[in-house]
Every structure is written in C-alpha cells, then in structure tokens.
Amino acid sequence: MKKRLLLGIVLSLAVGVVIGGYGGFRLGKTPVLNNVLQKDARGVQTRVITLKHLRAGQTDKVIEIIEAGLDDDLVLFDTEEPYEMITDRTKAEIKQALQHAKDYRAAYPRKSSRTHVDAMVSNVLEKEALR
C-alpha cells in the first residue's frame, strides 16, 4: 500500500512537472512570438513607405526614415548590464555593427527631433560594446 502511494505521488509529481514545463513554455513563447511578428510587420510597413518616398524622388524623407530606424536599432544595445548567454559570434556581429554605425555617424553626424534617443545613441557609440 505504501509503495503504491509513493509511486502515485512520484508519478503525479512527474506529470505535474511535464505539464507545468509545457504550459510555461507555451505561455513564455507567446509574447516573444507576438513581439517578433509585430516588429517584422512594422518593418514591412516602413520598407513600403520608404520605397514610395524613394520612387517619388523624396530622398530626404528616405534618409530620415533610414536614420531613425538606425537609431531605433542602436538604442537596443544601450544596456546597463552586459548581455548574458550570447555567443562569441553574436558579440562579434554586434561589435562590428556598432563600429560601422560609429564610422557612419562620424562621417554623417545627425541630430533628430528625439533628443533622448540621440543621447542614447551617443552613449552606445561612445562606450565599449559588450563589456
């Protein structure tokens, strides 16, 4: 009787762990999936708007859209803590991207209407990437 009770408890715990793990995984991936798909949808919208301006010969608007997008991407690297659990390859890609951005902005300095974003971009480009 005690063996059956113990076996029942162990099986119940095992099933609970499996169901909890599966549920947690499903619940955890949903916001990530939605975030990625929303970002991709915004990217498509931005590219379409950019192409329309480009075809209309409105290069100043195209440059502003691309510059603002670059700013938005760069501020993601403005972290207080170093990234953990990323590969050396990812670190190398980020460092190379930041160096390209730094070189570009040295040749083509920019001030936008979003001063807080400008400050974050300056911070990213001035500090050592991925401490």
Please state, in angstroms and rounded to a whole number, the distance separating the CA atoms of residues 17 and 22: 8
Of the two residues 125 and 9, the one the predictor is more confident about is 125
Please state, in angstroms and rounded to a whole number, the distance separating the CA atoms of residues 57 and 60: 9
CA separation, residue 4 to residues 13, 19, 59, 118, 128 (Å): 14, 22, 76, 67, 61
Whole-number pLDDT of residue 25: 67
Please state, in angstroms and rounded to a whole number, the distance separating the CA atoms of residues 114 and 96: 25
Whole-number pLDDT of residue 131: 52
**Domain range annotation of the chain:** 24-57, 59-131
Task: Kindly report, residue by residue over 69-93, the tens digit of the pLDDT.
Answer: 999 999 988 776 677 788 889 889 9
Asked whether residue 117 carries a pLDDT value surpassing 70, the answer given is yes
Q: Count other C-beta atoms under 10 Å from residue 117's C-beta.
A: 16
